[in-house]
Amino acid sequence: MEMHIESRCIHLEGDRAETRFGAVSFPIYQTATFAHPGPGQSTGYDYTRMQNPTREHLERVVAALEKGSDCIAFSSGMAAIAAVMELFGPGDHLIADADLYGGTVRLFDSISRKNGVDVTYADCSRCDMEELIRENTRAIYLETPTNPMMHVTDLAAMADVAKAHNLLLIVDNTFLSPYLQNPLVLGADIVVHSGTKYLAGHNDTIAGFAVVKDEELSRRLRYLFKTTGAGLSPFDSWLVLRGIQTLAVRMDRAQENAVRLARWLLEQKCVTRVLYPGLETHPGYAVMKKQARGFGAMLTFEVQDRETALRLLERVRLIRFAESLGGTETLLTYPITQTHADVPKDVLAANGITDRTLRLSVGLENFEDLRVDLQEALYG
Ligand SMILES: *Cc1c(COP(=O)(O)O)cnc(C)c1O
């Protein structure tokens, strides 16, 4: 019987990871290189840039959670995305969602363009993809729900389009984590993660992942990985392994808080819009129900004016004003000056990101404490 996901966060099936001493916590193999038993003989490990047992254990855990055949652990989410973009070359064309993590937009607009890769941005949750596909289109790149506007794209439908045109479907699954959504199962070819967020889960390390199910893609990405060298360190690999053990309970709790905060925010007069895909009124609600096991703990809301937004950012006390997400603590982000500062102004406007838009990464605190903090910041 296949183990349930809560168990898979903690155990690999049939795995007794460390057999020599029976250590329950997987050891940190803090070594740069590995000695060979003799000429032509190998332990399977040569040099930590290429393979390291601690990182490999983490990679197997994440591959199992995402139901991929291979996973590569990078030193950051951006390093993972940058490596994936090396699959493309001059003359290639990509279609990307218009509402992506700001750092990804910066990568596409500066580095990928410099490398001759052309990117068309579109709202993948509603546009007609067929119209955007060109002869040289190689891939579709998206997040769902998107950051920060929470658009939801039907992954199975998108995978059908990608297959019909022989395109790679690349999905950044950071917002929901493999606990709530598995894009590879829905037909995606590559899943990327900022492991910094829900997977590591404690705002204490930077990490990234690329997960695939196809052997040829795995071979190409492994080659890029060993050549460009942005592997996750043994110690950071161990930190992420430790974080993943509690992924299920953290996500459940954070989501419970998020649902309640979304409903509370809806009732506030100075809040003009609440974007949370777990609200039945959200346009992506039905698709989320179909393709995910939950709605996550990210929510975006809009207040009546810029002054109210600034007041909140200044006055929250328990909630911290910081970028990032997916940790145990609740963070309030101002996308326009933080995560999306490098996104061109016209793109921000077209996406509806304004100086009244705020994003909450809801954490694991007591709900009442969070509510009171927001209430006092708004009205106190
Ligand atoms: C944070 C984030 C990234 C970048 O990951 P880093 O670990 O910060 O390099 C990519 N995508 C999304 C959705 C993110 O939230």
Residue bearing the bigger pLDDT, 370 or 338? 370
Query: pLDDT tens-digit profile of 121-160?
Result: 999 999 899 999 999 999 999 999 998 999 999 999 999 9
Residue nearest to atom 4 of ligand 1 (CA): 77
Phi-psi region of 18 (alpha: psi -120 to 50; beta: other; left: phi over 0): beta
172 a catalytic residue: yes
Residue 22: CB atoms within 10 Å: 8
The yes-or-no verdict on residue 15 having pLDDT over 70 is no
Active site residue 101: yes
Q: Which residues contact 258 (CB under 8 A, 6 or more apart)?
A: 276, 278, 295, 296, 297, 298, 299, 360, 362
Number of C-beta neighbours around residue 126 at 10 A: 10
Please tell me the distance between residue 297's alpha carbon and the centre of ligand 1 in angstroms: 16
Q: Which residue has the tokens 């199975």?
A: 156
pLDDT digits (tens, 9 = 90+) for 165-204: 999 999 999 999 999 999 999 999 999 999 999 999 999 9
Tens-place pLDDT, residues 224-280: 999 999 999 999 999 999 999 999 999 999 999 999 999 999 999 999 999 999 999
Tokens for 357, please give them.
């838009």
pLDDT recorded at residue 27: 93
Q: pLDDT tens for residues 46-77?
A: 999 999 999 999 999 999 999 999 999 999 99
Q: Whose CA is nearest to atom 5 of ligand 1?
A: 77
Tell the residue nearest (CA) to atom 2 of ligand 1.
194
Rounded Cα gap, residues 78 and 222, in angstroms: 16
Specify the CATH number for 248-379; select among 3.40.50.1820, 3.90.1150.10, 3.20.20.70, 3.30.450.20.
3.90.1150.10
Active-site residue, from 101, 121, 198, 334: 101
Residues within a 6 A CB radius of ligand 1: 76-78, 101, 103-104, 143, 147, 172, 174-175, 194, 196-197, 206, 208, 325
Q: Give the per-residue pLDDT at 55.
A: 97
Give me the pLDDT at residue 149, please: 93
Evaluate if residue 16 carries a pLDDT over 70: no
Q: Whose CA is nearest to atom 12 of ligand 1?
A: 101
**Region 67-93 average pLDDT:** 98
Q: Residue 14: its pLDDT value, please?
A: 62
- Residue 361 Cα to ligand 1 midpoint, Å, equals 13
What pLDDT is attached to residue 95? 98
Query: How do the domains of the chain map onto residue ranges?
Result: 5-244, 248-379
| Minimum CA distance residue for ligand 1 atom 7 | 77
pLDDT confidence tier of residue 13, bands split at 50, 70 and 90: low
Edge-to-edge, what's the strand order for the sheet holding 271-275? 271-275, 298-303, 357-361, 331-333, 320-321
Chain mean pLDDT for the chain: 95
* Closest ligand 1 atom, residue 207 Cα: 7
pLDDT-above-70 percentage for the chain? 99
The pLDDT, as a whole number, for residue 351 is 86
Cα of 15 from ligand 1 centre, angstroms = 30
Give, in words, the CATH class of 5-244.
alpha beta
Kindly state the tokens that stand for 369. 């404490």
Query: Which residue out of 193, 194, 300, 333 has the highest number of ligand 1 atoms within 8 Å of its CB and is therefore the one to mutate?
Result: 194
Q: Is the pLDDT of residue 309 over 90?
A: yes
Residue 287 identity (one-letter amino acid)? V
| Size of the chain, expressed as the number of residues it contains | 380
- The ligand 1 atom at the shortest distance from the C-alpha of residue 208 is 7
Catalytic site residue from 97, 99, 172, 189: 172
